[in-house]
Structure formats: structure tokens, C-alpha cells
Amino acid sequence: MHRSIWLVWLTIVLVACQPIAVPAPSAPAATLDEWSEGTPGVGDPIFPLLGNGGYDVQHYTIELSVDVMRNEIMGATSIRAEATLPLRSFTLDLLGLTVEKVTVNGAPAHFTRDGQELTIVPIAPLAASVLFTTVVTYAGTPTPIRDAHLDFVEQGWNRRDDVIFVVSEPQGAMTWYPSNNHPTDKATYTLRITVDEPYVVAANGVLREEIDHGARRTYTWEMAQPMASYLTTVVIGEFVRITEATSLGVEIRHYFPPQDADRLTQIFATTDEMIAFYGDLIGEYPFDAYGAAVMPFPLGFALETQTLPIFGLDLATEGVNAHELAHHWFGNAVTLASWDQIWLNEGFATYLQRLWLEHKLGREFLESGMRRYYEMLSAMKTPAPGMVDAQNLFSISVYERGAWVLHALRLRVGDELFRQFLRTYYARFKDGVASTEDFIALANEVSKQNLTGFLRSWIYDETLPPIPEVSQSFPASD
């Protein structure tokens, strides 16, 4: 099981439980040896080459023309960034494709390629804290990443039949656009994609403009809140767009295969109610829009791509929708600080998915479900959720013992403080990243107790800790 994705198995269990089916001037004031080359990675413990040091991206504009039948892309990505070091050169992550030209602040720049690193040398160095714009012009057929450790998916740009979809977690964004490909550098995005009729393009955020050129059409999508690169997506195919009434001002738009649209509209009809439920519990939904992009074929996974999660036809269920929606608070708005802390994404989404079920079915339903997972975990001898490596990033321990970290915290401090913890954690780290240490420090702060040892044993100890006694001062409500 540990080589595959736990969510698939989780869904099976859940289904059984469910009753419901500016160009800035460069300022070469520093002496020569003060200029740096940036760094070709940000030091992620699992993926050391992901991301780059020396600059901070603010906005990406990805403009591509896509030939769906040939699976070819052609265009440019423009990246507005701030130098955080004086830079003589810097790197972007891009794998495959042919780079035709690079400019920095409008002037042609020298570039070289080596694996996933695209190294750019501007004609004049960039002083620390200047804003600069890099435009990379490129073309080719994207090749998704096959990683033996994550064998349930090809990460990045995928084409199947006449559908294109992008599922990148953790590394795949670099298969279709150059970026600072690490969750610590979140940015806003404009995605402008041109395709042949009758294909439809969906992407992250809000559809701002559609331009009809006769046989071709350009779709401009805007993601106005910060987004990690692994959450960017584009979906192209013959989809129907279904909009749902919303009570909260969040635009709900789903993209479904026409032949399944009626059935899927029913399944996803609770989306508005779920957004309201999580909003009440945690804090206001962080983005302008939400909706599912369901593929016309099974995939064995779903992914929380920001505002437009992707579902294989086999996983288009209410339970998985709750999971992907919950990621929008935890994962997307509050993002993991490095990939070895993946439990912060998956543990939260898994537990919050259960809280939706608790909301529907009551506390005892939740407790008996959690006990079943506890027994399963204790019979399995899995690594602790905070001790993962590339092989078990998306394993049962990350999802289920990750969820148990939160349940254990709730049992220990009581419902009231647990709820306050969720709200404070979200409010404090929204639009940025959080680490396990941030999580523990905040639990201590909100509870006014020292929970460090307790939480560390749930997160890091090989042995599964005992189920905590329910807090006496805060009896379980419901």
C-alpha cells in the first residue's frame, strides 16, 4: 500500500460509511564578488533541487497556444519577481521543452540548461530588492514526470484521448512552465490559453475573458490569491460548464464531461453547503471560486488544484469533494513549508473530511470511524507521519495518522479550544506557509498548555501513541 496513494483506499472505506452517495533599473553598485548566482534549490529535504534561491516571484503570466491533437504547446511565461540577493544570474525550474528566447527587463539574456535547471544571465546584474521581469519563450510537447516513488500518477501535463489535464503535486509544474517550483514561493497567476474549437479551457481562479478568433478561442483565467506552483492546472477538452447558485459569494463552476453532467451535478450539489460548513468552522473560504473538473475517465486519484480540483471519474464522490475542498484552507491557503511535512496537508484534509461527515451524522459516527483507523494503523506498523521520505509521501500514515494528530489534539484540549486552534492557525498562516513547528507552537499558545511532547510523539514517534483521555474540563459536545 505504501507506494500508492492512500486516498484511493480511503475513498473505498468512506463510500462504505456514507449514507449519501515594471522594468526596474539594475544597479550595479556592488563590487563584483558581492553578486551571487542565486541557488538551484531551496534545500527541500526530499526534493533538494526544487525551487531556487535569490528571488521571490510575485506574478506569473502563462500565455500558451495549445494543439490538443498533437499535444504541443507554444508560447511564453512572464515572471515578475523581486531579487532577494544581488544577482549576476539565477535559475528557474523547467524540464523538457525547447527554450527559444529569454529576456530580462526586455533585454535578451544568456541562458543555459542542465536537467531541470534553466540558468539565466541577464546583461546587467540585478541589485537586491529590485523588481525584474523575465520572459521565457518556449515550445514543444510536455513530458510528465514518472517517479518510481509516486507510481500512481505521471506528474505534470498529461494528455489522454482528447483531454489535457495538469496534476503536478509535488514536482510536475516544471513540465509545462518555468517557475520557482517550491511551495515556499507562492505567487498570483494569469493563465491565457488558446485552443481550437470546440475545446474548452478551464484553469485556476476566475474566467476573466474569452476571445473568439473563429476557429480558435483564447481563455484568460486569473488567480488573484497566492498559489503554490504544484496547484496550478489547466484542463482542456469538451467539457460543459455547470454553475451552481451560491449563498456566500463564492463562484461555483464545475467542468463535467457532457455525458455525465446530470449525474455529477447531483453528486456535487452539496458543494455550497460544504463551503459554508468549513467557512463557519475555520474562517472564510480563501478564494473567489471553486468547482470540480471531472475527467471522462478514471484516474484513481483526485488533486486539490487551486479552485479547480481534478477528479478521476471513479473518484467523483461527495467524500472526496469534501477532502479536496478542505485542502483549500489547509494545503492551498496555508501551505506546507517543505515536502517532508506533507502530513500538514493530508492529515488536515482527511480529518476535515471526517468533520463534514460528523456534521451530517454525529459525533459517535466520527468516533467509531476514527477508532477503526486507529486499529488499522496499530496493526500495520507504518512510519510516523512526520518521518516520511520520497517513498511514502502519500501513504496511509500521512493521511490517517496525520488525521489522528488532529483528533488527538481535539480529545486532549476539548472541542472549544480545538476549534479556536483551527481558526487561529488558519488566520495566522493563510496566504503563506506553515511548518510542523508552527503547528505545535500554536497549539501550545491557544491551549495555554505545553503540548510539545504530546504532539511530537503523535507526529514523529514510530510507536502509535495511546488514544488520549477525553478532556475533563471540556467534555465532548454534540
Question: Left if phi > 0, otherwise alpha if psi is -120 to 50, otherwise beta: which for 202?
Answer: beta
Q: Does 145 bind ligand TRP (CB under 6 A)?
A: no
Q: How many CB atoms lie under 10 A from the CB of residue 46?
A: 17
Choose between 220 and 321: whose C-beta lies nearer to Zn ion.
Answer: 321
Q: Does 318 bind ligand TRP (CB under 6 A)?
A: no
Is the C-alpha dihedral spanning 14, 15, 16, 18 positive or negative?
Answer: positive
Residue number of the CB closest to Zn ion reads: 349
Choose between 109 and 326: whose C-beta lies nearer to ligand TRP.
Answer: 326
Best CA proximity match to 229, nearest among 155, 285, 281, 279 = 155
Rounded distance between C-alpha atoms, residue 135 and residue 125, angstroms:
16
Q: Which does 357 bind (CB under 5 to 8 A by kind): Zn ion, ligand TRP, none?
A: none
Residue pair 234/201 in contact by the 8 Å Cβ criterion = yes
Tell me the window of 56-64, 253-261, 301-309, 408-416 that interacts with ligand TRP (CB under 6 A): 301-309
Tell me the window of 37-45, 101-109, 191-199, 299-307 that interacts with ligand TRP (CB under 6 A): 299-307
Q: Give the strand pairing for 163-167 and 154-160.
A: antiparallel
* Contact with ligand TRP (CB under 6 A) among 42, 73, 195, 302: 302
Q: Which does 223 bind (CB under 5 to 8 A by kind): ligand TRP, Zn ion, none?
A: none
Best CA proximity match to 14, nearest among 270, 284, 351 = 351
Choose between 111 and 329: whose C-beta lies nearer to ligand TRP.
Answer: 329
Tell me the window of 67-75, 90-98, 296-304, 436-444 that interacts with ligand TRP (CB under 6 A): 296-304
Binding mask 332-371 vs ligand TRP (x if CB under 6 A, - otherwise)? Answer: --------------x-------------------------
Tell me the window of 100-108, 259-267, 302-310, 356-364 that interacts with ligand TRP (CB under 6 A): 302-310
Tell me the window of 58-66, 264-272, 297-305, 415-423 that interacts with ligand TRP (CB under 6 A): 297-305
> Please, what is the minimum distance in Å from the beta carbon of residue 327 to ligand TRP?
6
Contacting positions for Zn ion (CB under 5 A): 346, 349
* Contact with ligand TRP (CB under 6 A) among 173, 303, 352, 398: 303
Q: In angstroms, how far apart are the furthest CA atoms of the chain?
A: 69
Residue pair 193/177 in contact by the 8 Å Cβ criterion = no
Tell me the window of 49-57, 104-112, 116-124, 295-303 that interacts with ligand TRP (CB under 6 A): 295-303
Q: Is the peptide bond before 23 cis (omega within 30 degrees of 0)?
A: no
* Contact with ligand TRP (CB under 6 A) among 66, 83, 99, 153: 153
Single-letter amino acid code for the residue at 241? R
**DSSP-assigned letter for residue 473:** S
Q: Does 5 bind ligand TRP (CB under 6 A)?
A: yes
Best CA proximity match to 349, nearest among 272, 422, 454 = 422
Choose between 222 and 324: whose C-beta lies nearer to ligand TRP.
Answer: 324
Q: How many CB atoms lie under 10 A from the CB of residue 334?
A: 27
> Please, what is the minimum distance in Å from the beta carbon of residue 170 to ligand TRP?
7
Q: Which helix (H) or strand (E) holds 321?
A: helix 318-327
**DSSP-assigned letter for residue 180:** -
> Please, what is the minimum distance in Å from the beta carbon of residue 50 to ligand TRP?
14
Q: How many CB atoms lie under 10 A from the CB of residue 93?
A: 25
Best CA proximity match to 66, nearest among 230, 195, 250 = 195
> Please, what is the minimum distance in Å from the beta carbon of residue 303 to ligand TRP?
4
Q: Does 235 bind ligand TRP (CB under 6 A)?
A: no
CA angle 207, 63, 250 (to 5 degrees): 20
Binding mask 426-445 vs ligand TRP (x if CB under 6 A, - otherwise)? Answer: --------------------
Choose between 342 and 443: whose C-beta lies nearer to ligand TRP.
Answer: 342
Residue pair 160/68 in contact by the 8 Å Cβ criterion = no
Residue 69 cell numbers, joined = 491533437
Cα distances (angstroms) measured from residue 28 to each of 33, 87, 109, 127, 391: 12, 10, 16, 6, 45
> Please, what is the minimum distance in Å from the beta carbon of residue 350 to ligand TRP?
8
Q: Does 234 bind ligand TRP (CB under 6 A)?
A: no
> Please, what is the minimum distance in Å from the beta carbon of residue 363 to Zn ion?
24
Choose between 303 and 370: whose C-beta lies nearer to ligand TRP.
Answer: 303
Q: Give the strand pairing for 206-212 and 163-167.
A: unpaired
Q: Does 167 bind ligand TRP (CB under 6 A)?
A: yes
**DSSP-assigned letter for residue 468:** P
> Please, what is the minimum distance in Å from the beta carbon of residue 299 to ligand TRP?
7
Single-letter amino acid code for the residue at 28? P
Q: Does 7 bind ligand TRP (CB under 6 A)?
A: yes
What residue ranges bind ligand TRP (CB under 6 A)? 5, 7, 153, 167, 169, 301-304, 323-324, 346, 394
